[in-house]
């Protein structure tokens, strides 16, 4: 009986583990293999070319720009969403009357697909149809907001739309963290005469560090994956000024008939993600036993 009991859990989880591993690691390896072939239109394993695809990748101006955009976007998107989200959470935590409604308002953008909001944002940020026209109509004739169509600034529009979508999520997590803090600590500090802002800065924020950490983690991986967002808003344009690795890989693999190159870029994306995530996972799973 005991041995049956031991086997059942393993049997039950086996399909999940096997399929999950095949999906994750199997395909990662497959992708890695592709990246050392000369595959162009379709995967072909006839010719292995070592690291040539990677060399070619790093020589491409477009790839380097995509990486730079990813850096700019990630920092601003994660930082902005975190700051806005936590700020909103702190304000919401002040026993505000319309909390439920406001929370829904901040959170609903997460519900929408970027194909949905990309359509709206693209129009809103269009110089001759959207925000700029509105300002002109309202009388500010010299107002100009053509970020979307300028090579230098297109990526910042992606940031704005991205923060709009994800700040609510950061807010929800921060709020959950805030609500989990013991009131007695705050009361004690108040009795010592500390002002509310000071209490937040010195006591509450440090306690929330784990929440901040996991939010930053989730947002970071979302930013590396961001494909729908860029596709819908700028399609990587103008030209390729707002290209990111995710869209780069897509274009190279499917439109340009350069699957080997696309696979190399996907491997680089994986490596970036791994560099951020693996250390976190390692520390996470090491400390867990202590906590129990």
Partner 1 sequence: MNAKAMTEKYISRGLVYAVLLIAAAFFLTPLYVMVATSFKDAEQIRSGNLLSLPNSLNLDSWRLAWDSACTGVDCRGLKPYFLNSVVMAVPAVLLSTAWGAINGYVLSMWKFKGSEMLFGFMLFGVFMPFQVVLLPMSQVLGYLGLSSSLGGLVLVHCLAGLAGTTLFFRNYYAAIPRELVNAARMDGAGFWRIFWRIVVPMSTPILMVTLIWQFTSIWNDFLFGVAFSGADSKPITVGLNNMANTSSSVKSYNVDMAAAVIAGLPTMLVYVLAGQYFVKGLTAGAVKG
Partner 2 sequence: MLKLSKLAAAVALVVATSAAMAGEVEVLHYWTSGGEAKSVAELKKIMQAKGHTWKDFAVAGGGGDNAATVLKSRVVSGNPPAAAQIKGPAIQEWASEGVLANLDATAKAEKWDNLLPGVVADVMKYKGNYVAAPVNVHRVNWMWANAAVLKKAGVSGAPKTWDEFFAAADKVKKAGLIAVAHGGQNWQDFTTFESVVLGVGGAKFYNDALIKLDPKALTSDTMKKSLETFRKIKSYTDPASPGRDWNLATAMVIQEKAAFQFMGDWAKGEFSAAGKVPGKDYICAAAPGTANAYTFNVDSFAMFKLKDAGAQKAQGDLAASIMGTEFQEVFNLNKGSIPVRLNMSMAKFDDCAKLSSKDFVDTAKTGGLVPSVAHGMAIKPAAEGAIKDAVSQFWNDDKISIASGLANIAKAAATK
110 binds, among partner 2, partner 1, none (CB under 5 to 8 A by kind): partner 1
Considering the rule CB under 8 A, would residue 225 count as an interface residue with partner 1? yes
Determine, following the binding rule CB under 8 A, whether residue 112 of this chain makes contact with partner 1. Answer: yes
Q: Per rule CB under 8 A, is residue 290 in the interface with partner 1?
A: no
Q: Which range, of 39-47, 77-85, 163-171, 268-276, touches partner 2 by CB under 8 A?
A: 39-47
Contacting partner 1 within 182-211 (CB under 8 A) = 196, 209-211
Give the span between the Cα atoms of 147 and 238, in whole angstroms: 10
Q: Please identify which residue in 20, 71, 239, 279 interacts with partner 1, judged by CB under 8 A.
A: 20
Lookup: tokens for 56: 């070619």
Cα–Cα distance measured from residue 230 to residue 224, given in angstroms and rounded to the nearest whole number? 11
Q: How far is the CB of 64 from partner 1 (least distance, A)?
A: 19
Count of residues interacting with partner 1 (CB under 8 A): 98
Q: How far is the CB of 266 from partner 1 (least distance, A)?
A: 5
From the list partner 2, partner 1, none, which binds 111 (C-beta under 5 to 8 Å, kind-based)?
partner 1
Binding mask 205-244 for partner 2 (x = CB under 8 A): -----------------------------xx-xxxxx---
Q: Which residues, numbered 231-250, are part of the site for partner 1 (CB under 8 A)?
A: 231-232, 246, 249-250
Of 46, 141, 179, 184, which one interacts with partner 1 (CB under 8 A)?
A: 179
Per CB under 8 A, the list member of 62, 136, 221, 225 interacting with partner 2 is 62
Handedness of CA 33, 39, 44, 46 (dihedral sign): negative
For position 31 contacting partner 2 by CB under 8 A, the verdict is no
Number of Cβ within a 10 Å radius of residue 42: 7
Nearer to partner 2, 44 or 283 (CB): 44
DSSP assignments along the chain, one per residue: -HHHHHHHHHHHHHHHHHHHHIIIIIHHHHHHHHHTB---SS---S-B-TTHHHHHHHH-HHHHHHHHHHHHHHHHHHHHHHHHHHHHHHHHTTT-TTHHHHHHHHHGGGGS-HHHHHHHHHHHH-TTTSHHHHHHHHT-TT----GGGSTTTHHHHHHHHHHHHHHHHHHHHHHHHHHTS-HHHHHHHHHTT--HHHHIIIIIHHHTHHHHHHHHHHHHHHHHH--HHHHHHTTT-STTTT--HHHHHHIIIIISS-HHHHHHHHHHHHHHHHHHHHHHHHHHHHHHHHH-
| x/- track of binding to partner 2 for residues 249-278 (CB under 8 A) | -xx-xxxxxx--------------------
Residue with Cβ nearer partner 1 (21 or 48): 21
Residues of this chain that interact with partner 2 (CB under 8 A) are: 40-44, 60-62, 122, 126-129, 146, 148-149, 151-152, 234-235, 237-241, 250-251, 253-258
């Amino acid at each position: 009986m005991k041995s049956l009991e031991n086997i059942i859990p393993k049997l039950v989880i086996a399909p999940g583990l096997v399929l999950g591993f095949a999906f994750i690691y199997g395909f990662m390896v497959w992708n890695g293999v592709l990246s050392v072939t000369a595959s162009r239109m379709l995967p072909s394993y006839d010719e292995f070319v070592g690291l040539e695809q990677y060399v070619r990748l790093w020589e491409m101006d477009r790839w380097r720009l995509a990486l730079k955009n990813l850096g700019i976007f990630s920092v601003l998107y994660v930082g902005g969403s975190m700051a806005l989200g936590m700020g909103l959470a702190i304000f919401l935590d002040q026993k505000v009357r319309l909390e439920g409604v406001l929370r829904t308002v901040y959170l609903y953008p997460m519900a929408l697909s970027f194909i949905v909001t990309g359509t709206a944002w693209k129009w809103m940020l269009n110089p001759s149809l959207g925000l700029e026209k509105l300002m002109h109509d309202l009388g500010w004739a010299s107002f100009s907001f053509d970020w979307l169509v300028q090579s230098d600034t297109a990526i910042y529009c992606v940031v704005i739309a991205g923060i709009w979508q994800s700040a609510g999520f950061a807010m929800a997590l921060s709020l959950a963290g805030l609500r989990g803090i013991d009131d007695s600590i705050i009361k004690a500090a108040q009795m010592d005469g500390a002002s509310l802002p000071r209490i937040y800065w010195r006591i509450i924020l440090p306690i929330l560090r784990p929440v901040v950490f996991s939010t930053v983690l989730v947002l970071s991986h979302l930013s590396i994956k961001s494909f729908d967002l860029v596709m819908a808003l700028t399609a990587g344009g103008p030209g390729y000024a707002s290209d990111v690795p995710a869209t780069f890989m897509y274009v190279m693999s499917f439109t340009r008939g350069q699957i080997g190159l696309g696979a190399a870029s996907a491997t680089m994306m994986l490596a970036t993600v791994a560099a951020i995530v693996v250390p976190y996972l390692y520390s996470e799973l090491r400390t867990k036993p202590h906590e129990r």
